[in-house]
Structures are given as structure tokens and as C-alpha cells.
Amino acid sequence: MRVKELKLVVTFHTTADAMAMEKACKQAQAPGRLIPVPRAISAGCGLAWCAPLDCEEQLRSLMAQVGLEEENIHTCMV
């Protein structure tokens, strides 16, 4: 397995919200990518946005701008 590092992980209520996040980040050239929700966060399934730790403010601002509500914003080893 890959070596894990501490990352920012944004989870969403729906897949549609996760896809909206990807679209917004691509348009704004914000960093990150969609990953399966890590088990440390939820034992369920679904998509999460994974980005470097120092992007939190940028991502929060972007999400507010496009009206996107996260389920939660975590920091965890990914």
C-alpha cells in the first residue's frame, strides 16, 4: 500500500454534491481529487474530495461561493 499522509477530506451527503465539488474545483483550478470515503471517517461508501491540508480556506470559500454544503471536513491519513 502507498505511504499515507495527512490530508484534507471533504465528505458530502450525496454523490451529486461530490460531483458538483469536482466541477467547481476544476473550474477554479483548485487542487484535489475524488476518492472513496476513507474508513477512518465512515464505514459507509461514497465519494470524498481529498486535497492538501493547506487548501482548507480556499475550498471553504469556493464551496460557499457555489452554494455547496459539505457533510463534514476532516483531516485524516490518506
Q: Is 36 in the site for another protein (CB under 8 A)?
A: yes
Contact (CB, 8 A) for 53 and 8: yes
CA count, 13 A, side-chain hemisphere, 13: 4
Question: What residue type is assigned to position 42 of the chain?
Answer: S
Using the minimum distance from each CB to another protein, give the nearer residue, 57 or 70: 70
Q: Is 2 in the site for another protein (CB under 8 A)?
A: no
Q: Is 28 in the site for another protein (CB under 8 A)?
A: no
Binding site for another protein (CB under 8 A): 12-20, 22-23, 34-36, 43-47
